[in-house]
A = this chain, B = another copy of it.
């Protein structure tokens, strides 16, 4: 039985799993994200317990994913200072001596949703996660999108809504970008109460839906994904997804003509088909393809 390692590397925790070639999970562990000096050896020790054919890593960004770059496989200007400049791909390749592949956490999740989840059978999708940040992974023409760098959907510039008490948002880098306006922490800073505690009828939710609808409409106009998948903690709020669909339809105003639009976007803007397993399964798919 061939085994593959999968790592979902996040800012607060590392999810590590070993899966067989059918995607069955053989072993799993979760480690807190401390410093690279502490956490890298612990992760390597876990993977060394298994005879792996390949390893896939879905990691928080930004990452250098340009194979021609000297810094290929390195974590770039992350606010998690201890992890800046860490050559995460090389560290695992050298320690484990197996083929390994790296992509952003959201590209990995998008890949899993495109191959196995809500966008199965399609040639691509956009996977957006709305939680402590906003991130977007993108599969087009069957593969993850790496262009100049990789998508940074969370920083898409939006038009502030007229009734927003904090129309500039809270991103330290950009006025009125998606993450600054609509991430979980942005909701909490704007209203002085955490997203989890905001009651269902609060105006925060319609505003949130309008901002996420701007992201969906812009995505449809700019790159016409075959499906938009919305995951992350904020999306667990009941009723938010239909509200996003409603406002997206309003913004498009009949301009895009497709059955999915005529159908009210009910099968187009959807929840992840793999639940919270998109990330780890995406890493596994990366590991499979690295092993060849």
Contacts and interface: CB of A to CB of B under 8 A. Distances in A.
Contact of A255 (B155, B159, B219, B261): B155
Contacts of A77: 257
B224 A255 contact: no
Contacts of A227: 148
Contacts of A268: 148
A217 interface: yes
A221 B155 contact: yes
A255 B217 contact: no
A148 B256 contact: yes
Contacts of A260: 148
Copies of this chain, tallied across the complex: 2
Nearest to A122: B147
A152 B224 contact: yes
A1 interface: no
Contacts of A76: 257
A143 interface: yes
Contacts of A176: 159
A223 B147 CA distance: 7
Interface in A128-169: 136, 138, 140-143, 145-153, 155-160
Contacts of A159: 157-160, 176
18 contacts: A62-B256, A140-B140, A140-B147, A141-B141, A147-B223, A148-B224, A148-B256, A148-B260, A149-B224, A152-B224, A157-B159, A157-B214, A158-B159, A159-B160, A159-B176, A173-B253, A173-B254, A174-B255
